[in-house]
Amino acid sequence: MSTHIYPNLNLQDSHLKAFKISDDFTPPTQADTFQPDLFLKEVDEYLNSYPHTQHIDICLHDLNGHIRGKRIDVKSLRNLSNGCYFPLSVYAMSLDGKVIEETGLGKYIGEPDRLCLPILGSLQPSASFPELNAQLYLSMQEEHGSDCRYEPRNILKKLLNQLHADNYFPVMAAELEFYLFSPNHHTETCLENQCFDIDAPNNYQQVLEEVEKAALLQSIEITAIVAESSPGQYELNLQHTHDILKLCDQINALKRIVKQVARKHDLTACFMAKPNLAKAGSGMHFHMSLLNQYHENVFSSEVEKDELSAKLLSAISGLIELMPASMAILAPNINSYRRFKIGHHVPLEANWGTNNRNVAIRIPCSDLKNQRLEYRVAGADCNPYLVTATILAGVSYGLSHKLPLPKPAHLLKFPDEHILLANNQPEALKIFKGSLILKGYLGADFVEHWYTVKQAEYQNIYSQMTEAEQHWDI
């Protein structure tokens, strides 16, 4: 198996290599207009490589990052140069796939369709029978041709364009944790391994090799697979990139790959934030450096190794400022908050520190040129487009405002110096809805929309009688 397995404590050299700034770096442009001729060229090239293709899964990613779409015959593929139609209510769906009518996007306005156009570069072989099946991502438009304001990918694209206009170009990598469960599908029954056990992946080598192979077919570069601290838990590290939209596309694609491969082996892959109360939760961590128009990493210090750059500190201050309001995105459902417990390197506060895995924003060990931050709050159940959007919003806000920087976590001595994060969904949603700053970055309509959907999801779960309650002797 060509993927290397590294214990986290020895990942320093690997991550430094991943974050070397390329000399031929060219910032990506986020085109606002679809080009049918380029799509048709992509189709021809794909079918030349996969001439036996029969079906294509055409997909949108909803608010939760779940795939919504349909399977079409290959004969219809070229017709997608004109787009296709899906109901706007795709972006009003709950975790269980039901339209939240309180959003006003469903039956009360007649379930209107909106034009959806292919995302160039997203036509890839499926992990399930790749010679026969392909997948293609779509992006929805508003009625008059602008980007749909409820689509998370479009929100991220808008924030990227704003940063690029200010001559800031983020470079990011992702770490995605998940569990593999045994055939009985109970979260109490995991495949056994030990933390950082370099031989653990060998025990399930065929599964992980197939994940890697399917990822490579989709041009997803996995730089490491790590056996995590709990039985059956693994972490996939994705290569750094300046194409942040593609990185998030790949995270969603990788989730589908892992689930498809696991099913082939009679296993269940789980990206729930806390599938087992006695075990560690699963996170989605992002590493980030920031380039200017001269390809220089503005997070790098020009002086001593232990002294952090002013722009890095400004970015941290903005991230901490927006973190309490961002929790509704970073912990998007009732289960997400079970992950935030002491003892498993999960942050309970909006804080930061150097070489410290207990904090929300970690400054990893690195050389001067490649300094970066690691954002450790989000769970594996999050929508990567929205997590990345909130990170970029925090960085942008910090760079454009002179904010006080809290002391690093190890220097906080008094209770009033700690910024606690919401430990339940209703509190997080209330703070999120009231954030004027996030409304400015994500859009006021989207903030209200997310609040409405997530409030309805929460109320649906909260209104159900638990098994424990039914056994109370009252």
Domain boundaries in the chain?
A: 8-27+157-459, 36-146
- Between 205-217 and 244-264, two packed helices, what is the crossing angle to 10 degrees? 140
What pLDDT sits at residue 11? 30
Q: CB neighbours of 274 closer than 8 A, spacing ≥ 6?
A: 281, 282, 335, 336, 338, 339, 379
What pLDDT sits at residue 365? 87
Asked if the domains 8-27+157-459 and 36-146 are classified in one and the same CATH topology, the answer is: no
| CB-CB contact of 216 with 243 (8 Å) | no
Could you tell me which CATH number the domain at 8-27+157-459 has?
3.30.590.10
Its pTM stands at 0.90
Two tokens, residue 401:
């405002």
Residue 164, CA distances (Å) to 27, 167, 169, 356, 441 in order? 8, 5, 6, 31, 15
Determine the Cα–Cα distance for residues 373 and 15; give it in Å rounded to an integer.
Answer: 12
What pLDDT sits at residue 184? 66
Please tell me the number of Cα atoms within 13 Å of 349 on its side-chain side: 18
Assigned CATH class of 36-146:
alpha beta
Where is 375: in which H helix or E strand? strand 373-375
What pLDDT sits at residue 305? 60
Determine the Cα–Cα distance for residues 139 and 42; give it in Å rounded to an integer.
Answer: 17
Q: Is 121 left (phi over 0), alpha (psi -120 to 50) or beta?
A: left
Cross-strand bridge partners of residue 353:
362
| CB-CB contact of 188 with 276 (8 Å) | yes
Determine the Cα–Cα distance for residues 447 and 467; give it in Å rounded to an integer.
Answer: 34
- In this prediction, the residues of the chain whose per-residue pLDDT falls under 50 are 1-25, 189-191, 193-198, 200-201
Say how far residue 234 (Cα) sits from the centre of its chain.
16
| CB-CB contact of 210 with 2 (8 Å) | no
What pLDDT sits at residue 470? 83
Say how far residue 336 (Cα) sits from the centre of its chain.
14
For the stretch 217-273, pLDDT in tens is: 999 999 999 887 788 899 999 999 999 999 999 999 999 999 999 999 999 999 999
What pLDDT sits at residue 16? 28
Residue 322's CB is within 10 A of a number of other CB atoms, namely 23
Q: CB neighbours of 214 closer than 8 A, spacing ≥ 6?
A: 127, 130, 257, 260, 261
Cross-strand bridge partners of residue 140:
116
